[in-house]
């Protein structure tokens, strides 16, 4: 991954990018934690994107397992 002309060799791996503008992070956890939100915000900043979603597939109702996040560029 490249950020401000610096190549970052690390374990960062996005789950999905939709139309080069939205990042989707898939989780199967009891509940979405702040570490998951921080992970998504990091991906948004590194890719210089504004919108991302965390989908928690372990939620009983999918509407309760979706977290929308915005990077204030």
- Residues 6+ away with beta carbon under 8 Å from 64: none
Q: What's the pLDDT tens digit per position in 22-65?
A: 999 999 999 999 999 999 999 999 899 999 999 999 999 999 99
Q: Give the span between the Cα atoms of 1 and 42, in whole angstroms.
A: 12
pLDDT at 10 over 80: no
pLDDT at 73 over 80: no
End-to-end alpha carbon distance in the chain:
18
Phi, psi of 12, rounded to the nearest 5 degrees: -70, 125
Reported pTM: 0.80
Q: Sign of torsion, CA 64 73 48 2?
A: negative
Q: What token pair was written down for 38?
A: 């921080």
């Amino acid at each position: 991954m490249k950020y401000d002309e610096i190549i970052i060799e690390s374990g960062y791996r996005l789950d999905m990018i939709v139309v080069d503008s939205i990042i989707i992070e898939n989780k199967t956890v009891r509940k979405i934690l702040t570490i998951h939100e921080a992970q998504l915000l990091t991906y948004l900043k590194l890719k210089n994107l504004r919108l991302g979603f965390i989908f928690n597939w372990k939620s009983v109702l999918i509407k309760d397992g979706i977290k929308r996040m915005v990077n204030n560029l």
